[in-house]
Structure 1
């Protein structure tokens, strides 16, 4: 049973690689569209991180009072 599963998995992986390599010649092949999708996901994640960081800093400054500058020497 393990052999059959491994065989099917190997055939599937081989077909996927062949498909990606076959479409490299096209302007927007599978590899190019995957690259665009990953870049878009990374850009979205970076924007979400920056927004969340801004929200957390705002919340922090609301909860923690600023130090009194006159007592620091």
Structure 2
């Protein structure tokens, strides 16, 4: 009985793995949609980083006065 149960679980795991790892178009399949979601998340994160950097530089320039050019020399 344990052998039959193990065989069924093994076949199910094999089918699930073959479904996920199958070579499909980028827009099809679980792996392709996961790649699209990850790429989209990375692009959103990069855009958020750029926006936050701009905000921090603006805040920095508001808080720290520009150096007097006559005192640097």
TM-score (norm 1): 0.70
Whether the 8 Å CA contact 2:20–2:30 is kept in 1: the answer is: yes
**1:44 aligns to what?**
44
- Number of corresponding residues: 62
- For residue 43 of structure 1, give the secondary structure of its aligned residue in structure 2: helix
**2:56 aligns to what?**
56
- For residue 25 of structure 1, give the secondary structure of its aligned residue in structure 2: coil
The CA distance in 2 between the partners of 1:17 and 1:55, in whole Å, is 45
Deviation at 1:29, TM superposition (A): 1.2
The Cα offsets for residues 32-61 of structure 1, whole Å up to 9 and x where unpaired, read as 111000000000000001000100000000
Q: Which runs of 5+ in 2 are unaligned?
A: 1-9
Deviation at 1:19, TM superposition (A): 2.9
TM-score (norm 2): 0.70
Deviation at 1:62, TM superposition (A): 0.1
Whether the 8 Å CA contact 2:24–2:32 is kept in 1: the answer is: no
Structure 1 residue ranges, 4+ long, deviating more than 4 angstroms after superposition: none
